Amino acid sequence: MALTYDVIIIGAGPAGLAAAIEAKKTGAQRVLIIERNNEPGGILTQCIHNGFGSVIFKKDLPGPSYAHNFITQAREVEIEMLFDTMVIDITPNRSIYATSKNGFMEFQAGAIVLAMGCRERTRSQIRIPGTRPAGVFTAGMVQRMVNIENLMPGKNFVILGSGDIGMIMARRLTLEGANVIKVVELMPYLTGLRRNYVQCLQDFNIPLELSTTIKTINGNNRVESVETLKVDESLKQIPGTEQIIPCDSVLLSVGLIPENELSKKAGVILDPLTGGPEVDEKMATNIPGIFAAGNAVTIYDLVDYVSEAGFTAGRNAALFASGNTISPADTIKILPGENVRTVVPQAINKQLSGNQVLIELRVTKDFPSPVKIELTDGDNVVLAFREKYARPAEMITLKINPELFMEKTAGISGALKVRAL
Amino acid sequence: MTKKFICIRCPKGCEITTTLDGSGVITEITGNNCKLGIDYVKAELSDPRRTLTTTVEVIEGELPLCPVWTESPIPKDKIKELADALRAIKITAPVKINQIVLENALGTGVNVVAEREINKHSTLAD
């Protein structure tokens, strides 16, 4: 027999914990989180560095402490949590099937929040040629080995990708006695936050080479060397710039992909640009009663914003479960326009309630000087914002008053485009 | 003379330019978006500090390691030395969050504390 809950959340990471707490506070009676790991916290448990919490707690916290605050709150409001349990299927009418060492389980949810987080892009996804020796790792995998499992996977590292996890692991490995030879980055710019360049690379004299990639990985049983080379502005390899670097390990920090195998099974429509579900400002997907939040929707820079998306999804999931929801009004589609790579949400309801509308976007190129972010309807500029700068590595959040949004978009029937100029 | 900095006090990472006169006194600071930037640059020029986050071994814990951090930043040149010192420290589970792991680390006046709870390992089979 199916176990019945008002709201079921898939994943006990930052998005799922926030969603559960807010669902309960909004009035959902029975709230359950199903988690594959043996404890809550998600990826935060291995992110032992500080830099979390500046928005939500107005404090600088390490990942495990940030998670601890949410775990404590979840226990206080009596969120049920199932660990070592893996959801294997979700249906559009909100049945959930899971397995654990206790066997097969069936659940029925009034509403569901998808909070599965993301996965790391691997070597095969970026197709680095060469042999296939041991010693090629994703950065997050090494982070888990070093910070949780007490394992040191190598001595001499080359890191591909200047994402935050890559830079943070460069520092971590150095502090644990490894030699990080260099970080190479394909793009002509840093892909992670600049403060991490300062405190993780510069402080430890670890060189960063931009517009550089790994041409081949060499070695029989274990990595013996990598061959790097320069690329031009169009990312084409420049012959003659090859360099052989002896090393025993390669760390990949080459991007994250929202995890949505379950979303697909439930019939949730994914945005090919973000890799996550298409959502509206309530974090509702196209399937009634199925909501999504966090890195499963789009890759965030800061965990604080993941938690905030979790709050929104949890609140609206609880309202849906209680039948207390505004019938779906017309929506306005929000599409990326000129110089914009991704936009979340992908649609905004024409009928809005009290909460501020957030539009989160990423630009495609560096804008070092003031930049205009505009919402346009054809040639018409509907709303305009000004940012001091814009970088592909940093998500831009537009906060819009709901009344203003409704006033400005009244009469718009099609889609709004977001552009950066 | 001018010196450039990237502020690390928040995720924004403001690029800050500082002008110094002949005796090293700051005459101008530009590029910061808030007061934290001014504090940061002043500290970088006189007493640069960083927060250390690392792990220590746990005896009888559910996990082999406990993440720890300095309660406040310590002089930058002591980071590596403190990381090495903490590698020799073992604590016994259960561990409470913010429990002091090393008091007055290397004489800096700063305590190193646990970032999370770690329960005692259960001796019963699952």
Residue A402 CB: number of other CB atoms within 10 A? 17
* Nearest chain B CA: its distance from A163 CA (Å): 14
What lies within 8 Å, CB to CB, of A304 at 6+ separation is A52, A53, A54, A55, A56
Residues A66 and A111 in one domain: yes
Give the pLDDT confidence score for residue B10 in this predicted structure.
Answer: 82
Task: Dump pLDDT digits (tens) for B70-106.
Answer: 999 999 999 999 999 999 999 999 999 999 999 999 9
Residue A339's domain comprises 329-421
* DSSP-derived 3-state class of residue A199: helix
Q: Specify the residue for token string 């052989």.
A: A244
A390 touches chain B (CB under 8 A): no
Find residues 249-308 of chain A whose CB sits inside 8 Å of chain B.
301-302
The pLDDT of residue A191 is above 90: no
pLDDT of residue A329: 64
Specify whether the CB–CB gap between A66 and A115 falls below 8 A. no
Count CA within 13 A, CB hemisphere, residue A17. 24
| In contact, A382 and A409? CB cutoff 8 Å | yes
Q: Say if residue A249 is in the same domain as residue A135.
A: yes
**pLDDT higher than 90, residue B125:** no
pTM listed for this prediction: 0.94
Where residue A300 sits, what CATH number does that domain have? 3.50.50.60
What average pLDDT does the structure give for chain A?
94
Sign of CA dihedral A396, A401, A402, A407: negative
A286 and A372: one domain? Answer: no
- A59, A169, A175, A190: which to substitute to probe chain B, counting the most B Cβ within 10 Å? A175
CA distances from A101 to A65, A85, B98, B111 (A): 29, 8, 34, 42
Dist CA A363 CA A342 (whole Å): 7
Q: Are A114 and A262 in contact (CB under 8 A)?
A: yes
Q: Are residues A112 and A11 in the same domain?
A: yes
Q: A239 and A321: one domain?
A: no
Say if residue A163 is in the same domain as residue A233: yes
Could you count the other beta carbons within 10 Å of the beta carbon of residue B9?
A: 18
Tokens representing residue A112 in the block:
């569901």
Q: Which of A54, A150, A194 sits opposite B6 (nearest CB)?
A: A194
Does residue A56 surpass a pLDDT of 70? yes
Mutate to test the interface with B, among A45, A48, A83 (most CBs of B within 10 A): A48
Nearest CA in chain B to A394: B12
B48 close to B103: Cβ distance less than 8 angstroms: no
Q: Do residue A13 and residue A113 come from a single domain?
A: yes
What distance in Å separates the CA atoms of residue A115 and residue A291, rounded to the nearest whole number?
A: 9
**Any A CB within 8 A of B8 CB:** yes
Q: Choose the final residue of a domain: A226, A254, A282.
A: A254
Structure confidence at residue A326 as a pLDDT band (50, 70, 90): low
End of a domain among A325, A344, A361? Answer: A325
Q: How many residues does chain B have?
A: 126
Say if the Cβ atoms of A68 and B126 lie within 8 Å. no
pLDDT of the residue at B11: 78
The two three-digit tokens of residue A60, written as one number:
């600088």
Nearest chain A CA: its distance from B21 CA (Å): 25
Number of domains in chain A: 3
Q: Is A150 on the interface with B (CB under 8 A)?
A: yes
Mutate to test the interface with A, among B6, B62, B115 (most CBs of A within 10 A): B115
Is-contact A313 A15, C-beta < 8 A?
yes
> Which residue has better confidence, A330 or A50?
A50
- pLDDT tens for each residue of A337-355: 999 999 999 999 988 877 8
How far apart, in whole angstroms, are the C-alpha atoms of residue A185 and residue A179? 18
Domain B53-114 -> CATH class: alpha beta
* Res B126: pLDDT: 47
Task: Tell me the nearest-neighbour CA distance from B80 into chain A, angstroms.
Answer: 6
- pLDDT over 50 at B25, yes or no: yes
Mean pLDDT, rounded, for A43-65? 95
Task: Determine the Cα–Cα distance for residues A123 and A259; give it in Å rounded to an integer.
Answer: 17
Contact call for residues A115 and A310 (beta carbons, < 8 A): yes
Residue A68 to residue B117, Cβ atoms within 8 A: yes
Statement to judge: residues A265 and A245 lie in one domain: no
Check residue A121 and report its DSSP letter.
Answer: -
- Chain A neighbors of B63, CB-CB under 8 A: 148
Residue A5 and residue A77 in one domain: yes
Interval A119-144: pLDDT, tens:
999 998 989 999 999 999 999 999 99
Percentage of chain A lying above the pLDDT 70 cut: 99
Q: How far is it, in rounded angstroms, from Cα A196 to Cα A190?
A: 10
Size of interface A-B (CB pairs under 8 A): 79
CA–CA distance from A107 to each of A9, A122, A321, B64 (Å)? 11, 33, 14, 35
Structure confidence by residue, pLDDT tens digits, A71-122: 999 999 999 999 999 999 999 999 999 999 989 999 999 999 999 999 999 9
Average pLDDT over every residue of A21-39: 97
Name the residue of chain A whose CA is nearest to B63's CA: A148
Report the amino acid identity of residue A88: I
Q: What is the mean pLDDT of residues A149-163?
A: 96
User: Do A20 and A96 lie in a common domain?
Assistant: yes
Please report the ipTM that was assigned to this predicted complex.
0.92
Amino acid found at A4: T
Bigger pLDDT: A365 vs A34: A34
CA angle B74, B76, B78 (to 5 degrees): 75
Residue A242 predicted with pLDDT over 90: yes
Beta bridge partner(s), residue A230: A212
Quick one: which of A406, A293, A403 has its CA closest to A344? A293
Q: Residue A225's CB: how many other CB atoms inside 10 A?
A: 19
Q: Do A54 and B64 touch (CB under 8 A)?
A: no
Beta-sheet strands, E only, within A253-370: 256-258, 290-292, 331-336, 340-344, 347-349, 357-363
d(CA B115, nearest CA chain A) in Å: 5
* Mean pLDDT within A314-335: 86
Q: Max Cα separation, chain B?
A: 70
Q: What's residue B71's pLDDT?
A: 96
CA–CA distance, A122 with B110 (Å, rounded to integer): 40
**Cα–Cα distance for residue pair B44/B49, rounded to 1 Å:** 7
Rounded to an integer, the average pLDDT of B100-123 is: 95
Are residues A222 and A300 located together in one domain of the fold? no
**CA pair distance A363, A371, nearest whole angstrom:** 11
Is the pLDDT at B108 greater than 50? The verdict is: yes
User: What pLDDT score was predicted for residue B124?
Assistant: 56
For residue A368, pLDDT beyond 80: yes
Residue A378 pLDDT > 90:
no
- What lies within 8 Å, CB to CB, of B25 at 6+ separation is none
Q: How many CA atoms lie within 13 A of A216 on its CB side?
A: 9
Report pLDDT digits (tens) over A194-205. Answer: 899 999 999 999
Per the CB < 8 A criterion, the answer to whether A223 and A137 are in contact is no
Number of residues in chain A:
421
Q: Residue A330, class by beta-carbon neighbours within 10 Å (0-12 exposed, 13-18 middle, 19+ buried)?
A: exposed
pLDDT in the model for residue A144: 97
- For the stretch A39-49, what's the b/e string if a residue is b when 16 or more beta carbons lie within 10 angstroms of its beta carbon? bbbbbbbbbbb
Contact A203 B76 (CB under 8 A): yes
pLDDT of A391 = 87
User: Given A48, A68, A195, which is nearest B53 (Cβ)?
Assistant: A48
Minimum CA–CA partner of A396 in chain B: B12
A193 has a pLDDT exceeding 90: no
pLDDT of A137 reads: 97
